[in-house]
Structure 1
Amino acid sequence: MPKSESTKNSDLLSPFLPEERVLQTTDILQYCFEKMPDGVAYCKMFYQNGKPTDFIYLYTNPSFHKHTGLGAVVGKRVSEVIPGLFESNPELFNIYGTVANGGAAESFEIFLNDLQLWFLVQVFSPKSEHFVATFKVIHQRKAAEQSLVASEKLYKALLEDQTETICRFKADGTILYVNDAFCKVFDQSRKSLIGQTWYPRVFSEDLPLINEKLKSLSPDNPVVVIENRIITAGGFLRWGQFINHAFFDDNGVLLEMQVVGHDITENKQAQAANLELNTRLTQISSRLPGVIYQYKLRPDGSSCFPYASTTIQEIYGVTPEEVKEDATSAFACLHPEDYDGVVESIRQSAVTLEPWQYEYRVLFPGETVRWLYGNAVPDRESDGSILWHGFITDVTDSKRIEIALLAESQKNAALLRHASDGITIMDSEGKLLEASDAFCNMLGYSHEEMMGMHVSQWDAGTCESEPMNIVRAQFEKPVRSQFETRHRRKDGTIYDAEISGYPIDLNGQPVLFNSTRDITERKFIQQALQRESEKNSLFLRSASDGFHILDIHGNIIEVSNTFCHMLGYGREELIGMNVYQWDATFTKNEVAERLKQQIISSARSQFETRHRRKDGSIFDVEISGFTLELNHVPLVFYSSRDITQRKFLEAALATSTKEIEDLYNYAPCPLRQNSCRLNF
């Protein structure tokens, strides 16, 4: 008959206790084994030629089955329970066999391939050829250890793969770590630097700035960013942005410094190039017979000129600054009879996003009337505003010529010939009946050569039939039409042209009166304006102050790169954050009350506070803000300026003043009397 559990347990305990005590303590010890969280197995080892080959389970506790997932194993050999264990983990048999054969108890970690688990095992022998193994599963711990090792390797690899230079050193300058990029830039080996004191060559003119910045490091301000020039191994001068992070002990004593450097030479060169381009564009635009501009129509119906060349004063009698935020003063000079037409043409362009082209009059004091022609391309912005990029020029002269020609076409033929624009008169078949000298000069033909030529001979459209299709379309609509095309000169060169015209009746014959203008320069200006717009966007993103726009709850809805850099967050991290998450002065309720008062008053406010960076460091800021509306939603625009340096200087000045006052108060009487005479 098979043995009962208690008998099996008695067999297990008999090697440890005198025979007369076995039956008395069986229940207690059995309870202990049964309740142990570790797995327990009592086994007998089998040997062949002195080497362990198999073992049989004599006892197992419940935790054994819980940890291994095995069923009933008592009375079974391990080769039957876990086939292939001897082949996959022979070291397990060697350890068990040695201990069961009288060896000392052992503790070891092992990974069982068949169970795909890590175990911490302790084994001892209660009697010859027998062993007791207790174990616990450490799979999670081993996985964590392996993950930690992998993370350390990854972190080290990331540091070495960085293009930024990284250097860490003690307070006395002894270098603790440098990455490959640092060694490459300064042509130094890691072996020659670690444990030594060595400083990169810095451009001498930048040393005062660097020393001043580094003096500001403290436990409350452990990070400073410095942009300065360095001299690389090849003797080249490069710009770098260096993030200096100081590490202090609890007593405020500097322990270590870590400096991460990023090459910003190309950015500095781009800034210089943009400044030069802006200067050139300003010079060019000031010499053009018109104004290049950006015109913005906001969702609430208000408008402004975000950019306008200085010649806007000749067009509208206003300065660029006067219309930068509000275009009302420019619209005030529109001729009353043309005002509604201008407004409607802008509205239609905003709806269809088609180019705006319009001729209209302006009326200045003294009843001076001027004709203007505007051409602009609209874009829809993310906030719903429409932004036009365009050009407005004074066309008073050509307009007068056009009006005079309509009144007396034959009588004014000479005037037509000498018009500043390229004027043409064609019949319904596209043959040229008359042309101004300006048009002949545009194409490089003499007046005699041009008479009778067909429009297809100088129009460089996409196909031969296109010019006549346009001519027919103009005759079909008795209104002014305007379009752009390309013309081919006599020498074969191509240029951009803008055509404005309409059909008229000349001595009973329907003819087409067109005014042609070479817009090659205008095309160039439009491209320059687009580049200027892109440059202005870059300037906004690169503004020195930290701009951020908040909703009425204090959550960020838009932010500049500078503000992100101030706080050490990415733009995606900051969007949606609330003021109280980075403000280190006001409580959440105080922040809400300040925003409420800002929105109610609508006045510009200015105050000082302190901000908390992502790394926990605190710095002083000056805030300037005002309320604005976007799509009828009240928002708050704030501009933050880091005044840490200013605060430092103010404190230093106060200290110096106090020292002078103390010196005067404690000076000998004669000296104080002399001081009085010297008006101290």
Structure 2
Amino acid sequence: MSTLNSGIAAPFSVPEGSVYLANEMLPDFLGQLPNGVAYGKILYQNGQAYDCAYFYTNPAFQRQSGLQDLSGQPDIFARYARVAAGGPPEHFQVFPDTFQAPYSVQVFSPKPEYFVCIVNTSPPPPTDSPSSPSARRYLCVLEDQTEIICRFLTDGTILYVNDAYCRFFGKSRESLIGKTWQPTAWAEDLPLINAKLAMLSPAQPVVTIENRLIAADGSLRWGQFVNRGFFDANGQLLEMQSVGRDITEQKQMEAALRESEKRFRLLADNAPVLIWMAGFDASRLYFNQVWLDFTGRTLAQERHQGWTENVHPDDLPHYLAAYQTALANREKFAVDYRLRRKDGAYRWLTDHGVPRYDDQGNFFGYIGSCIDITERHNKEEQAKQQALYDPLTKLANRRLLHERLEHTLAALKHHHGYGALLFLDLDNFKPLNDLHGHEIGDLLLIEVARRIGHCIRDIDTVARFGGDEFVVLISKLEAVEARAAACVHRVAERIRNQLAQPYTLTLPSGGDQAVVHHCTSSIGAALFGPKHSQAKQILKHADQAMYKAKANGRNRVHFYTPDDDL
């Protein structure tokens, strides 16, 4: 490619009508220039540019440019042809064999089909300049890369490719340079690629694109390309460089993961359990459809901390504490709590959380499953009630009273203060049963339990000890004995007065008329402190005091004293 005619004719042997460059002084002037100058024409066959002919080259061009023969430089020929065909002037760098650094080339057209080439062969800048690395070293770096590298013009014409690019596509460098890169990409992806490249600007000189490629064996591969644009001083895009890598395996793994997640979601959304997933920071990211149907909320509402809005306020602190403890230790956890259903009812769930790890053993969150245990929980509560509570009055029974009394005694060993037991017995209860039957008697006991409950604090305990006997456990009294005793006396008197008020008792099934009953109570009080340790002994003292109250005329309060033992 290219025909060189360096001889000077007078005038030059140029085609008729061409730009007349030579006069008697011009050859001498051009011959003395340190920069290379060439003048030529593009040759066409069937309307296609296939070669070029130099009509004049000065000595500097012949000696230094390395552009006399363009046979192995189709990218340079492509630039000549574009300019001669009416394109704008081009300014670029070349890497000739005779130089160790790139130098500048300018090409413009004085008239259609003709071109003038000016080569700046000035010495390269000093070695401490950022632009001083040699072209050979630069090319070696490019050729040693495993990434595929390509430089191309704005219309896609390839200017340079490295060896890795050639190997990937199974083509020689000569067959690629001067052609466009588009045939190497999957046709369906070209609109995306072009749209992304159109985004390049001086303000955004780099864009990353993922697209499919046609490899050397004809297979379809995925590539990720970092594309950088190079601009002139006016911000005009001159050319681009693309550095790519094969990401087919990554894409296959992503596709496999998506398919796996799809199967998981299909399974999760059809499993009869509530399922959630959280990230490594404990934030909830996913809830299956069963969960969403249960709460009547959307995924967006439940994500992150939204799900806590449906947890029963009494259960949330306990649940979060267990969750955070498990998270800190990367361990399993199980918690029972109440979650509000879409109809407003709270249901008991048991939640099992399991930590999740990737193939490398890295923790990345939790997965949890919940099942509705409301029926089981209710049965357990019922069994607990039967074991610890009186079925008639719903008060604590003897067993629970003993447990709480022991707990109060243990607490007094570490904290100064007093506690007290009030032992109550209803006066003249048996005649009511004998006259009106046990159903009326049971109604009286239920009302007595209610009235006593209204006279004490939530931290205190009322127990039905048996028959018409009740016991009140008062805890956390003052550390001064006299003040503690005075407080107990006030509570006991309040209970006595309440129980002495008339009772109107009506059977649920109705009857002839309601029964109005007057009933009083005898109350024995026993104060205990840190020195007391025997629960049975304290109960005995309170019982003795109650019998003393009865002996003293009933409807009164009596505090235990050692004299009561006599």
Report the TM-score, using the length of structure 1 for normalisation: 0.31
State which structure, 1 or 2, has the greater radius of gyration over its C-alpha atoms: 2
Q: Which has the higher contact order (CA 8 A, sep 6+)?
A: 2
